[in-house]
Structure 1
Amino acid sequence: MRLSWNARQWGSIVAVGAGFWMTACTKDPSVTPQSPISSSPSTATQSVDGWILENMRAVYYWNDKIPAKPDTTLAPEDFFYSLLYDYTNKANTERDRFSWIQESADELKSSLSGEEKTTGLEVKYYLRASGSTDVIMKVLYVLPGSPAAKAGLKRGNIITSVNGQKLTTSNYASLVNDPTTFNYGLAKVESGKIVDTDAVKTVTAEVFQQNPVYLDSVYTIGSKKIGYLVYNQFIPGPNGSTATTYDQKLEQVFSKFKAQGVNELVLDLRYNPGGYVSSSVKLASMIAKGVDNTKTYYRMEYNKDVMAELKTQNKTDELTTRFQAKSQNIGANLSRVYVLTTGGTASASELIINGLKPFMPVITIGETTYGKNVGSITISDETGKIKWGMQPIVFKSFNAQNESNYSTGFVPTIAKSEPLDVKQLGDIEETYLSTALAQITGSNARISADQGPKLPAIGSSVERRAGGSNMFDDRNPLHF
């Protein structure tokens, strides 16, 4: 049966999410899906697998790579991953490492709107020492109003145990995700070493909605009026709401920047793995220099079947999304923009970098970004009979100069790593921000030295969060 997405709906698809937005588990690409012991699939499994295959053959970006005779005896999750293009081949930088499926479509949709069951912590994991199997967690930031914030946890806290168990490479994944109540054992950095303390913070996870507009400030240094924005997810409003509460907050921030004469901008996307394309367009439209609603922000390319259909219908113009004319735009006062990045900067965040580059210099500070130049949509069963939800890659994005060459990430203009012992976000001595301020003002004295020991990083919760995006048909949200 042919699927009924029309050209306008396709034209709104853009995916920019990196990995997973939340702390829900993602499929490990290093693990080859295994067939179940039984070779006799249930009727329910066959029904779900058939639904998956029908949709994937219609909309998947690499639909020409789907096996001709996929194994429909596999359980739905394993079946889905068996369809993905070169999924386990890490040597292929162009492979599909982004599509995913969840048993609950409702939970999938909630996660893409910033709502999840969480303590409110975003963390990075390190080996306690090179060659060690002990693991520590460094708190990157705490969601205001969350259980973790109420318990007094803050950015820079170091956690070495959960519920009385020391974190190790073999247990940390289950310890930080499986319980509902967490007793976090804290440590501190002392004379360059990590020292355990007796301090314990008890936090119970709850369903919580993130406000992505985390922090904004204006710094006056000489003739420079420097706007600073920490933006952690591209979402227009709370889950289940049609209100664009968070987009409006972005507009308020840029109205303030404009009123205060901001002439330099530092956009902090280091913890932003993507989200709704609609929010990405709005943000870019308030930054870009010399743009209006005739200038291209990005263009999409779908699989050959969809592209042929759009060409037949003379709808290929709907593959291009243009900037919006925004009264809050500060581009006229900007000669460049600074973007702070990490390996968790992905998808819609990378779309911002790529989309602004044709119109102004984009100076990135930090680490190489994730490398997601493709987008996805949310697919669920309209009848409600199948409860699964999937997020397959359906398009690739290009900027106004037809560039899409960042599948391995954007290498930073100025390389910088975040130290173990960190300042609070917005502190002018915080490593990333101080580096940007030094570049803007020409004062190297403002660059703070890295603090604490250098430890091997093994991942972060940011890289496990999922991006979300927007479609005209709310049943099929687009994700970047």
Structure 2
Amino acid sequence: MKIEKLLLKLLSIIFISIFLSNCSKKDDGDFEEPEIITEEVAPITLNNEINDFIWNGLNEIYLWQEDVPNLADNKFATQDDYYTFLNSYNIPENLFDGLLYQIDVVDKFSYLVDDYVELENSFSGTSASNGLDFGLVRLSGSDDVFGYVRYIANNSDASTKDISRGEFFLTVDGQQLTLNNYSNLLFGSNDSYTLGFADITNNTIALNGKTIALTKTNFTENPILINKTIVAGAIKVGYLMYNQFIADFDDELNTAIAELKSQGISELVLDLRYNPGGRVSSAIILSSMITGQFTDKVFSTEVWNKRYQDYLKANDAESLINRFTSTLLDDSPINTLNLNKVYVLTTSGTASASELVINCLRPYIDVVQIGSSTTGKYTGSVTLYDSSNYGRENANPNHTYAMQPLVFKSANVNGVSDYYNGLTPDYLITYNTASGSGEGENLTNLGILGDVNEPFLEKALSLITGSTTKLSTKSKSFLGVDFKNVADSKDFTPLGKGMYTTLKK
């Protein structure tokens, strides 16, 4: 057996040797080089050109570009690497959000839209609206949401209905508002809905049987809600409620200031409590109207990302400075009040360009802030379109996406900026609740806007006349409710709480 196994092994070795010898030699005995086959790899193709627009735009101009690793200039070694990264995002909105710096912590206000026509309309005050401006809150310990009416826009659908400031609503088309459904019910695709109104008693809200049907239209809201003169003792006080900085209404604002001036006012109460911001140039114009004695002095300065800042400093340093003006954008003269003091009413809904007015007037005149702390938005944005220079002209016809990223931060002439927690009022408005106290507006005692007994205005008038430094006993007697803010109607407009300017080229 051992001999048989040994013979089999020898035969196998001989066979393998012969086989290898034949495979390694040609017939003529020369060595044959092995054939190497290389397969050419196709380059990666871009799946979505919108993603390319988003990355390039943010890489170019985003305020925090240097702080986002995925926006670094040397992030991608090859075009294939770049396209592979972009193709990993199937939805443009996800890419945009993923490239923001500490989204909802530091950057709370950059946004992407899929319809820039709608965005452009919002800059002129036009949007799908029924004219009802409201806040949304929830009672402590509950996920149920209810709304309260802040004001009704003039000449809107809501202005023709039986709705008043200070009323509460609990349902939409019969459905209870909750944290999960309020966005879809109030700001979804439905242009018409019916609100179910409610009353609050002993910190409990319940339907009262009243219902109102409202319809959204393509509506342009005049941001000047109220402009009037109040005689307080021997003093004529102007009261201007201004709800958004919109350049298309600068002429109307100029007329409003002229009316106050013609009536001989010596004091001004500027109500910005529901003003989420808007055009920087309109903020400069309003500030110049309130004063008038600081033409061409520095109103604010801007700080952009390093790439833009270095370029602008070297080529157009003056563009980083905004100055008080004596004219509107069309060079027509503005009306001025030449005041050395202004009283400004604020809430957490006071944002952006509204805060810019307060912060940038403070080095020059006495700004008396009344109410509660503001939003805390000291940054501004520009609109970027998918074109070679990010302008509207020659924008990519294949889509209507546009970006509104934060690109600069503002500071006043003394360099004050970065007010993350908002601007703190000189006179904080408070009210009593069942569990302690609240700050800002008391939902059970909002009062009538422009009325001398409305709590915020009442406080301003008491400071102007020197009659008292406290709210009236009547205002203090309304027991407030304990609630948590959820959102407000302006959060769902394309502009939102935005401050914007034009792109510097």
TM-score bracket, shorter-length normalisation: 0.7 to 0.9
In the other structure, the counterpart of 2:427 is 414
State the distance in 1 between where 2:364 and 2:499 align: 25
Residue identity opposite 1:58 in structure 2: E
1:266 to 1:76, Cα distance in 2 relative to 1, 3 A = same
How far does residue 43 in structure 1 lie from its aligned partner after superposition? 4.5
How far does residue 106 in structure 1 lie from its aligned partner after superposition? 1.4
In the other structure, the counterpart of 2:169 is 159
In the other structure, the counterpart of 2:126 is 115
State the distance in 1 between where 2:345 and 2:491 align: 16
Map 1:89-238 → 2, pairs under 5 A: 90=105, 95-127=106-138, 129-178=139-188, 179-189=190-200, 194-237=205-248
In the other structure, the counterpart of 2:60 is 58
How far does residue 100 in structure 1 lie from its aligned partner after superposition? 0.5
State the distance in 1 between where 2:482 and 2:423 align: 23
Residue identity opposite 1:319 in structure 2: L
1:423 to 1:387, Cα distance in 2 relative to 1, 3 A = same
Map 1:227-266 → 2, pairs under 5 A: 227-237=238-248, 246-266=249-269
Q: Is the 8 A contact 1:227 1:266 kept in 2?
A: yes
How far does residue 154 in structure 1 lie from its aligned partner after superposition? 2.4
Residue identity opposite 2:66 in structure 1: D
**SS across alignment from 1:137:** strand
> 259-268 vs 163-172, which deviates more?
163-172
Q: Is the 8 A contact 2:144 2:179 kept in 1?
A: yes
Q: Is the 8 A contact 2:350 2:374 kept in 1?
A: yes
**SS across alignment from 2:354:** helix
Structure ID, larger Rg: 2
Q: Per chain length, whose mean CA-contact separation is higher, i.e. which structure has more relative contact order (CA < 8 Å, sep 6+)? A: 1
Residue segments in structure 1 that go unaligned for 5+ positions in a row: 1-40, 238-245
How far does residue 187 in structure 1 lie from its aligned partner after superposition? 1.3
How far does residue 394 in structure 1 lie from its aligned partner after superposition? 0.8
2:414 corresponds to 1:398 = no
How far does residue 468 in structure 1 lie from its aligned partner after superposition? 5.4
**SS across alignment from 1:365:** strand
Show CA shifts across 1:392-436 (max 9, x none): 111111111121141221011111211113222111111111111
**SS across alignment from 1:309:** helix
In the other structure, the counterpart of 1:454 is 481
- Identity percentage over the alignment? 35
Q: Is the 8 A contact 1:183 1:203 kept in 2?
A: yes
Map 1:295-334 → 2, pairs under 5 A: 295-313=297-315, 315-325=316-326, 328-331=335-338, 334=339
Q: Is the 8 A contact 1:109 1:378 kept in 2?
A: no
In the other structure, the counterpart of 2:452 is 428
How far does residue 209 in structure 1 lie from its aligned partner after superposition? 0.8
Residue identity opposite 2:97 in structure 1: Y
2:289 corresponds to 1:286 = yes
Which of structure 1's runs of 4+ aligned residues deviate more than 6 A? Answer: none
How far does residue 162 in structure 1 lie from its aligned partner after superposition? 0.7
How far does residue 347 in structure 1 lie from its aligned partner after superposition? 0.6
**SS across alignment from 1:273:** coil
State the distance in 1 between where 2:101 and 2:205 align: 42
> 264-273 vs 281-290, which deviates more?
281-290
Residue identity opposite 1:456 in structure 2: F
State the distance in 2 between where 1:215 and 1:345 align: 17
State the distance in 1 between where 2:45 and 2:175 align: 40
Q: Is the 8 A contact 2:384 2:404 kept in 1?
A: yes
Residue identity opposite 1:425 in structure 2: L
Q: Is the 8 A contact 1:336 1:360 kept in 2?
A: yes
Residue identity opposite 2:314 in structure 1: T
In the other structure, the counterpart of 2:463 is 439
Show CA shifts across 1:34-70 (max 9, x none): xxxxxxx99552x111111111111111111231448
Q: CA RMSD in A?
A: 2.2
- TM-score by length of structure 2 reads 0.78
How far does residue 367 in structure 1 lie from its aligned partner after superposition? 1.2
1:149 to 1:159, Cα distance in 2 relative to 1, 3 A = same
More helix, by proportion: 2
- TM-score by length of structure 1 reads 0.82
Q: Is the 8 A contact 1:61 1:302 kept in 2?
A: yes
State the distance in 2 between where 1:42 and 1:143 align: 50
Show CA shifts across 1:87-131 (max 9, x none): 15x3xxxx221110011111222223221112211111122x321
Residue identity opposite 2:65 in structure 1: N
In the other structure, the counterpart of 1:354 is 359
2:502 equivalent among 467, 471, 474: 471
